Amino acid sequence: RSQTGVASGAITTIQETGGSIGIAIAGTIFTMAEMGRFQELSTKHQLNIPPVMAEKVKALLSAPEKLHAYLSHQAPLLQDKVITAFKTSFLHGFHSGMMIATFVSLVCLISIICLLRKKT
């Protein structure tokens, strides 16, 4: 009975740590996929944006309001192409992060089912 508090605390700690690590991994995958797709689309559509602007846009990829404000000083056609590339990149990054999270969840679910079957 005296060990139930320790067990409960250990389970909570493991859950919190796992959640933090999972969010960090999904966020990293999201950022990498988003930036990679943006670079790909920039090259494909020949946006020809200066390197300084490209770095600024990459830095603002996850902040649409700031990106829109920054691009409001550019030509409307360039602004539209960059915004479209941004939206496509964002969705690609989000999709990639969620696919990895789904895969890890399914692997964990299958592992739990296998472990429970072995015990019974």
Tens of pLDDT, residue by residue over 69-105, are 888 888 888 888 888 888 899 899 999 999 999 999 9
pLDDT given at position 81: 86
Say if residues 79 and 71 touch (Cβ distance below 8 Å). yes
Q: Is the pTM of this model over 0.75?
A: no
Low-confidence winner among 12-21, 25-34, 75-84, 90-99 (lowest mean pLDDT) = 75-84
Residue 11 reports pLDDT greater than 80: yes
Domain that holds residue 85: 4-119
Paired tokens of 18:
């796992």
Return the exposure string of 14-34: e unless at least 16 CB atoms fall within 10 Å of the residue's CB, then b. eeeeeeeeeeeebeebbbebb
- The total domain count for the chain is 1
Q: Which residue has the higher pLDDT, 92 or 65?
A: 92
